[in-house]
Amino acid sequence: MSMKRPEGKEAEPANAGGLRHEQYFVWGSDEWCPANGMRNGVESVNRSLKRSQYEDISDAEKRAVRGNTFTYLIVAIGTVVENLRKIVSFYKNQLSVRNLSPKNNRLP
C-alpha cells in the first residue's frame, strides 16, 4: 500500500482536533484503517522481541556484551530466532490434526 498525503478538505485544518488529528491520515477514515493496521503489526513484532520469556532485547543486563557491533549481532540473532518461532507456530497451527490447547502446544 502506498501512502499519499491527504489533499483537499482533510488537509485544510492543520490541527483542528489536537493530537488525535496529528497523523498522516484523518483518524478513523477509510485511509487511516489500513495504515493503522500496518502500525499495529509492527508494534506486535516489537512487543514479541521485547518480551522477557525469550529474547528480551529490552533488558541490557541479559545481553551484557561490549561494543555496539556485538550488541547489534545479538539483537539480529534474537530477531531471527523470534521469526523462526513464529514460522514454526504458524505451521503447527495449520498442520495440527486436532485443536491445539496449552497441554498439547509444546514443540516436539
pLDDT tens per residue, range 58-75: 777 777 778 888 888 888
| Domain shared by 35 and 10, yes or no | yes
Grid cell 533488558 — which residue?
59
| Domain shared by 76 and 36, yes or no | no
Rg (CA), the chain: 20
pLDDT at 8 over 70: no
Please give the distance of CA 87 from its chain centroid, rounded to a whole number. Answer: 15
pLDDT tens per residue, range 72-103: 888 888 889 888 988 988 888 887 777 777 77
* pLDDT (0 to 100) of residue 94: 81
| Domain shared by 77 and 102, yes or no | yes
| Domain shared by 42 and 26, yes or no | yes
| Domain shared by 31 and 69, yes or no | no
DSSP reduced 3-state for 80: helix
* Residue ranges making up the domain that contains 71: 58-108
* pLDDT (0 to 100) of residue 11: 57
Kindly write down the DSSP assignment for every residue of 29-61, as one continuous string: STTHHHHHHHHHHHHHHHHHHH-TTTT-TT-GG
| Domain shared by 46 and 64, yes or no | no
pLDDT tens per residue, range 35-51: 887 877 778 888 888 77
* pLDDT (0 to 100) of residue 84: 92
